Structure 1
Amino acid sequence: MRYFTFVLLITSITLFAGCSNEGQSGNTKLLVAAASSLSETLSELKNAFESEHQDITLTLNYGASGKLSQQIQSGAPVDVFLSADPKWMDRLVQKEAIAADTRTDFAQNGLVLVSSRNKSISASQLSDLPDMKVEQIAIGNPDSVPAGSYAKQAMTESGIWDDFEDKLIYTSNAQQTLTYVESGNTDFGIVYVSDLTRSDLIKKVFTIDESLHKPIHYPAAVTASSTAKEEAQEFIQFLQTDKAQSILRDNGFAS
């Protein structure tokens, strides 16, 4: 009797694991891990995708691309990864944690220096900042936040990194950088161009010369551990459609 109970338990667990991506109604559920800079935009994309694919439901999880990549590498049950920096996707490729043939770049971005609405500064490029009264600048942590990594590249290339390294406030994601600037906790911040559409409390000081940093591409891929690879691939294909690209452009991203 004990042996029968043990076999029944193991069988039940196996069946549950095999159906973990299916909801009670038979719909497939996909967990999408995405860079926090995509948050509001991806909510729109989710609605548009689900209206066309009523048998698939997306669950969205946002965070810094570096941390999400580490979670996937550690076995987090993610189906699709949307990164704000190709290097984190590259690392997953090396670890064979994504299906490499599904990898696709679906959006681009740029960088801007921003301030709160009540700040003013007459600068047009990063090299102007050392001569200005700039106390603190918020950027994402360069070790895990792509926007911070790109910001460090741009500040280094423009020759001002050493001037401001002690005046930088590191944040854990794009949203936190915005919050620091909105609240006035820092004078300025370096964020994505797309972030300008996410807040009415900040203003652009200037666009950062794109030659100062690597191109900002957003890659998407299906994870190697996904049990719904076909449906996950459908979502990635959707990101390349005219409808999805229009939503991305409306939110400040480039195709």
Structure 2
Amino acid sequence: MAAASLSQGMKQAERLYEAKHPDVDLVFSYGSSGQLQRQIEQGAPCDLFVSAGQKEMQALVRQGRIDPDDVEQWLRNDLVVVIPKDHKIDINSIRSLALLSGKVAVGQPETVPAGTYARQSLQHFGVWKQMQDRLIFGKDARQVLAYVETGNVQAGLVYLTDARSTSRVRIATHIPSNSHQPIIYPMGLIKNGDQSEQVRSFYRWLQGEQAKAIFLREGFKGAANH
């Protein structure tokens, strides 16, 4: 199971890994990290969990579902404000969002790490409360992006990697990283999952240079560089 914001890179990784290991059939499930956490807690079959936030991973560690020794701090990301490509809106800072007349999309803060980071930034700049009646909440990071792509909102707060994945939006401004918690993607092996050598081999491969190169091209950074 992997955070929705990883789907583009994971699909490339899946094709590459299966081409090198014809006997392996990888099956991925994508969604918000909070939704995936709940599915794991409810017993959904899962061997490897990749979250877009520490909170969800640490919750599963505390519950004994993941051994802390089997958690790798893998990738990191940045947060940006995006607008529909053809819209003429002047947004030069996150505070500018409070001056918009239309809706702004963010992830659901309780279940979507991108939404948690967005809320932290909006609170940091003192505009969270005054924007409440104009916020639209997406069920995962990709839905927030879709709201902007279709012009249903004036702006959205998304990961840099999601912004770079489409030609239908443009980046209006980058959000200062000191306004929110570090955006780290940890991955961990599920204790009651298939802990076979096949699963561990893929887990180790994701940490290697070949897999990392895929995600670096998508705009991610190595977690060790933060």
TM-score using structure 2 length: 0.94
What runs of 5+ residues in structure 2 fail to find an aligned partner?
Answer: none
Q: Contact 1:137/1:168 (CA < 8 Å) preserved in 2? A: yes
Q: State the partner residue of 1:40.
A: 8
The share of aligned pairs that are identical, in percent, is 34
Asked if 1:71 corresponds to 2:39, the answer is: yes
Distance 1:111 1:67 in 2: 21
Structure possessing the higher radius of gyration over alpha carbons? 1
Which aligned pairs between 1:19-38 and structure 2 lie closer than 5 A? 33-38=1-6
Q: Contact 1:181/1:188 (CA < 8 Å) preserved in 2? A: yes
Helix, strand or coil at the partner of 1:103: strand
Q: State the partner residue of 2:129.
A: 162
Q: State the partner residue of 1:111.
A: 79
Distance 2:4 2:187 in 1: 14
TM-score using structure 1 length: 0.84
Distance 1:227 1:184 in 2: 43
Asked if 1:227 corresponds to 2:194, the answer is: yes
- Of residues 23, 42, 51 in structure 2, which corresponds to 1:83? 51
Asked if 1:195 corresponds to 2:173, the answer is: no
Helix, strand or coil at the partner of 2:137: strand
Letter paired with 2:138: T
Letter paired with 1:186: V
Distance 1:169 1:133 in 2: 14
What runs of 5+ residues in structure 1 fail to find an aligned partner?
Answer: 1-32
Distance 2:30 2:70 in 1: 21
Helix, strand or coil at the partner of 2:26: strand
Distance 1:88 1:65 in 2: 7
Question: What is the total number of aligned residue pairs between the two structures?
Answer: 222
TM-fit CA distance, 1:153: 0.4
Helix, strand or coil at the partner of 1:96: coil
Distance 1:134 1:40 in 2: 33
Runs of 4+ with >3 A deviation: none
Helix, strand or coil at the partner of 1:102: strand
Q: State the partner residue of 2:21.
A: 53
- Of residues 176, 179, 182 in structure 1, which corresponds to 2:149? 182
Instruction: Summarize deviations over 1:94-149 as a string: whole Å, max 9, x none.
Output: 1111232111011100100000012122232112333x334210011001011001
